[in-house]
Structure 1
Amino acid sequence: MATLNITYDGMSADVPVELDRPVSDTDVRRIAVELIRSGGVPGMHLSQLRDETFQHYAVDRFRGARGEERIYLRPKVPFGAR
């Protein structure tokens, strides 16, 4: 079991996801779109969300204190850019 944190349009939510295998960043973006379209993300139900919505989002992966997988899907930010 992994936790997917999705940040979109000023909102952020954690969603538990069952992953049978390691997934690519592209898969994470696709899963997020499907979850939001289906109403599976608390506070985010957008049935008309476009397939490419998260195309330019960053995917970060971490392990929690107990070894659990945490995946963050977030907008890229310009910190440190010139």
Structure 2
Amino acid sequence: MATLNITFNGLSSDLPLELDGHVTDVDIRRIAVEVVRSGGVPGLHIAHLPEDTFNHYVVDRFRGPRGEDRIYLRPKVPFGA
């Protein structure tokens, strides 16, 4: 079980995901578009979200304190490297 955190338009929401093995960044962005469009993300429902909305977002992957996978989909920031 993994948790996908999507940050969009100033809002952030967690979504539990059942993933089979490693999922590419492209797939994470595609999944995010689909779940936001369908209303599957608490607090984020945009039925006509453009397909390319998350193309330039960063996908960060971390292991939580109990070993669970955490995936963050977030906008790029203008600072840091």
Normalised by the length of structure 2, the TM-score is: 0.97
Unaligned runs of 5+ in 2: none
The change in CA–CA distance for 1:66 and 1:47 in structure 2 (over 3 A counts) is: same
Unaligned runs of 5+ in 1: none
Looking at structure 1, the residues matched to 20 and 54 of structure 2 have their Cα atoms a distance apart, in angstroms, of 22
Shift of 1:20: 1.1
Written as runs of structure 1 = structure 2, the 5 A alignment for 1:43-58 is 43-58=43-58
RMSD: 1.0
Q: How many residues were matched structurally?
A: 81
| 2:17 aligned residue | 17
Normalised by the length of structure 1, the TM-score is: 0.95
Aligned-residue identity in percent:
70
Moved over 4 A (4+): none
